[in-house]
């Protein structure tokens, strides 16, 4: 947890690149891709947050078994 800020910044940078490339390769028109990008970014970050919750729940559950 020492470099949490750095790791979160890098995650946001990589997430932005992934969503941006997906939006612009998925749409033929750049205007449509720009309009769609915020919604796709929100869905991607929501998915990441859900993954974090599931992983933390699994960690808490299985660590308690030891």
Q: What is the pTM of this model?
A: 0.80
Local structure of residue 8 (DSSP, 8 states):
H
State the total domains in the chain.
1
- Given pLDDT bands bounded at 50, 70 and 90, which one contains residue 64? confident
User: How wide is the angle at C-alpha 14 spanned by C-alphas 57 and 25, nearest 5°?
Assistant: 115
User: By residue range, what is the domain housing residue 12?
Assistant: 4-63
Answer whether residue 47 shows pLDDT above 90: yes
Residues 39, 9 contacting (CB under 8 angstroms)? no
- Averaged pLDDT for residues 7-16: 94
Answer whether residue 63 shows pLDDT above 80: yes
At which residue do the structure tokens 């033929």 appear? 28
């Amino acid at each position: 947890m020492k470099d949490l800020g750095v790791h979160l910044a890098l995650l946001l940078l990589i997430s932005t690149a992934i969503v941006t490339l997906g939006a612009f390769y998925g749409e033929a028109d750049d205007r449509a891709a720009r309009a769609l990008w915020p919604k796709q970014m929100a869905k991607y970050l929501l998915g990441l947050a859900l993954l974090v919750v599931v992983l933390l729940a699994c960690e808490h559950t299985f660590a308690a078994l030891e």
